């Protein structure tokens, strides 16, 4: 059974930084892509960033490019999301999710429906 556990959320002032962690178990980490998604109250879940552990490709939503950095520690089965220059509009519950990759099938790495396994989420609140 795939399990994903997020940590690192919290309350931070605008312009501050947070680092989220997603610890994965129950899977062959190198065969998966891990994505970060967020959902603010009253809004749909949106893709923030993703990393493919098969080729280390990274993907970012336009709204976070240049501010957020995704990375993967394959030895620890953990993916990190470093969030800098945070804005109040970044406030949301952040989820990580896992997608088992198939080299013959192209996916949109920032689309939530591509991911089968999800963590419980961690709250990020950015005050103005």
- How far lies 119's CA from each of 4, 50, 122, in Å? 5, 14, 9
Distance CA 71, CA 69 (A): 7
Provide the mean pLDDT of the chain.
Answer: 97
Q: What is the pLDDT of residues 42-89, one digit of tens each?
A: 999 999 999 999 889 999 999 999 999 999 999 999 999 999 999 999
Q: Tell me what percent of the residues of the chain surpass a pLDDT of 70.
A: 100
> What is the rounded average pLDDT of the residues 98-127?
96
> How do residues 84-96 score in pLDDT, each as one tens digit?
999 999 999 999 9
Residue-level pLDDT at 35: 98
What is residue 12's predicted lDDT score, i.e. its pLDDT? Answer: 98
DSSP code per residue over 32-90: EEEEEEEE-TTS--EEEEEEETTT--EEE-TTTTTTEEEEEETTTTEEEEEE-S--GGG
Q: Is pLDDT larger for residue 103 or for residue 4?
A: 4
CA 126 to chain centroid? 17
- Could you give the 3-state DSSP secondary structure of residue 97? strand
Residue 103 has a pLDDT of 86
């Amino acid at each position: 059974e795939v399990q994903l556990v997020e940590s690192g959320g919290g309350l931070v002032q605008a312009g501050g930084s947070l680092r989220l962690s997603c610890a994965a178990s129950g899977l062959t980490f190198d065969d998966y892509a891990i994505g970060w998604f967020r959902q603010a109250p009253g809004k749909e879940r949106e893709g923030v960033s993703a990393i493919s552990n098969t080729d280390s490709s990274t993907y970012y939503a336009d709204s976070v490019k240049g501010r957020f950095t995704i990375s993967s520690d394959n030895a620890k089965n953990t993916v990190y999301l470093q969030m800098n220059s945070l804005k109040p509009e970044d406030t949301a519950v952040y989820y990580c999710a896992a997608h088992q990759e198939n080299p013959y099938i192209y996916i949109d790495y920032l689309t939530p429906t591509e991911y089968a396994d999800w963590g419980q989420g961690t709250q990020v609140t950015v005050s103005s």
